[in-house]
Amino acid sequence: MHTSPAIHRIRERLGGWLPRDEQALVAFRKRIAQHVATLPDKQLVPAVRELAALVHDDPLLRMPLSEAIQEAIDAGYELGYSDIDGLMKRINAVMSYAPPFDTTELVGCPINALLDWPMCMPSGFALFRSGRLNAQLGKVLQHWSAFLSSAESCTYLHASSAQGWFSPEADVYVHMRLFECDPRRPHWGFSSWNDFFTRRFKPGARPVAEPDNRRLAVSACEATPYNLQNGVSLQDRFWLKAQPYSLFDMFTPAHAELAKAFEHGTVYQAFLSAYNYHRWHAPVAGKVVHAYRVPGTYYSDVESAGLDAGGPNNSQGYITAVAARAVIVIDSGVPGVGLVACIFVGMAEISSCILEVQTGQTLAKGQEMGYFQFGGSTHCVIFQKDVVQSWIPIPPYNTSSTPIIELGSPLARLR
């Protein structure tokens, strides 16, 4: 039955990674379709070819993906494709896509833009939890990341038009004066899109608050507060509408004893914007006692979020337990403060969680620990039970009006 997409409540797409206006996404999909039409005989790159073969050869993947596409079309959404082959050709086109700057129509996650509705259709929920599908999607994203790390990805690293990331229009959002760069050099000294995306602040641009105060935690990222939950359970039903945090799943069963150390503690979660800094820093000083990466999903939504195009950014609590992520745990060495955990979660395209620290390393407060490539994401800072005395960004948080908490600024007073 054909229905209007207006019957679904389209939630705000947080962080600016996809346009808020559905018609802007439709226009993007049409541009990709037009590009594909000009190259009808273009071969799929190996990673996408393998993805197509995996889906076509397995009925447990082929049938729900076909159904999810048809469900989205029947609901009235303009996908720009009508079957699996059409989707694969469009994913293939994205493999050489570098996002231009735009304040209203930025498509920083182009594969998410293609999957935006099938992933949250009834047939899509279970499909995008498939381990084999996600493993191959990871290879596709690695191929795109390789392009974004190449000189060919510098298309929009200029100031000569409003689509350039160094244009006056972009500077209102990006503030390149705060970052290490050289406007006299080609592409301002950046060798690729990823090089630009992981740009560093100039020394002193983000001073660490009270660097010698071991009982003040600071913001680990340049991020907007999303949620705060006290008394977190060791294991919870994270797929519920409230999306409670489940420590056992966040840390993974292989680290069950570590998860127990944070039982009944506090989780602070904040998300990163498309226009901001994407490196992670230590919220407290101390010794790294755990540092590991967790493979996971890329486009999995939680059913309780409903049939909307919010994508994983409206399932932020849920994806802390299922998405690709990096975990770093710091022993502060301070009585009453103990362990502080940081979980950096990839949303949609953002599978590249790069760790720069290792177990046994001693960190100063505010020291860099790693970064996200080619996209924005979300992160959690987790404190043990009864550690936090007060919060500086005072909850509850409103993602539309709460300002970005600058890197290194005060986050929480600790007992």
For 186, the domain range is 155-197
Look at the chain and report how many structural domains it folds into: 3
Q: With respect to residue 235, please indicate whether it lies within any of the assigned structural domains.
A: yes
Query: Could you say which of 108, 123, 148 is where a domain stops?
Result: 148
Whether 67 and 176 map to the same domain: the answer is no
Is the domain of 292 the same as that of 410? yes
The per-residue pLDDT for 2 is 41
Concatenating the DSSP letter of every residue in 99-154 gives: PPP-SSS--S-HHHHHHTTGGGSTTHHHHTT-HHHHHHHHHHHHHHHHHHTSGGGG
- Reference 180, options 159, 199, 197; nearest CA is 199
Residues 41, 17 share a domain: yes
State whether 69 and 187 are in the same domain.
no
Whether residue 122 is found in the same domain as residue 170: no
Measured distance CA(178)–CA(196) in Å, rounded: 13
Same domain assignment for residues 304 and 176:
no
Average pLDDT over residues 244-253: 94
> What span, in angstroms and rounded, lies between the C-alpha atoms of 411 and 406?
10
The long-range contacts involving 170-177, CB below 8 angstroms and separated by at least 24 positions, are 170/101, 173/103, 173/275, 174/101, 174/275
Mean pLDDT score of the chain, rounded to an integer?
A: 90
Return the closest-CA partner of residue 377 out of 228, 276, 288. 276
* 98 and 187, same domain (yes or no): no
Residues 226 and 321 placed together within one structural domain of the fold: yes
pLDDT in tens, 391-403: 999 988 887 778 8
Determine the Cα–Cα distance for residues 1 and 176; give it in Å rounded to an integer: 50
Clarify whether residues 405 and 268 are in a common domain.
yes
Given this model, what pLDDT does residue 281 score?
Answer: 98
Residue 414 three-state SS: strand
Provide the pLDDT for residue 15: 67
The residue among 307, 311, 303 whose CA lies nearest residue 74 is 307
Burial track 121-143 (b if 16+ CB lie within 10 A, e otherwise): bebbbebbebeebbebbbebbeb
Task: Using the predicted structure, report yes or no on whether residue 271 has a pLDDT greater than 50.
Answer: yes
Residue range 154-167: mean pLDDT, rounded: 96
Asked if residue 87 lies in contact with residue 81, where contact means CB atoms within 8 angstroms, the answer is: yes
Identify whether residues 384 and 244 lie together within a single domain: yes
Q: What would the pLDDT profile of 196-218 be if each residue is shown by its tens digit?
A: 999 999 999 999 999 999 999 99
Q: Tokens 């050289």 sit at which residue?
A: 182
What is the average pLDDT across 313-320?
A: 78
**Half-sphere exposure at residue 104, Cβ-oriented, CA atoms within 13 angstroms:** 5
pLDDT at 203: 96
- Do 203 and 368 form a contact (C-beta atoms < 8 A)? no
Top pLDDT among 80 and 239 is at 80
Asked which of 89, 117, 148 is the last residue of a domain, the reply is 148
3-state secondary structure of 28: helix
Same domain, yes or no, for 142 and 162? no
Boundary-marking domain end, from 127, 148, 169: 148
CA distance 291 to 293: 7
Question: Two tokens at 214?
Answer: 């071991």
Edge-to-edge strand ranges of the sheet holding 286-294: 224-230, 266-271, 377-383, 339-346, 325-331, 286-294, 362-363
CA dihedral for 121, 122, 125, 130, sign (positive or negative): negative
pLDDT tens-digit profile of 14-56? 666 777 788 888 999 999 999 999 988 899 999 999 999 999 9
Would residue 28 count as lying in a domain? Answer: yes
Q: What is the mean pLDDT of residues 163-175?
A: 95
Question: pLDDT value at position 306?
Answer: 58
Q: Give the rounded percent of residues in the chain with a pLDDT score beyond 70.
A: 91
Q: Indicate whether 206 belongs to any domain.
A: no
More confident residue, 126 or 236: 126
Q: Does 113 share its domain with 40?
A: yes
Cβ neighbours, 10 Å, residue 242: 11
Closest CA to 351 of 369, 370, 326: 326
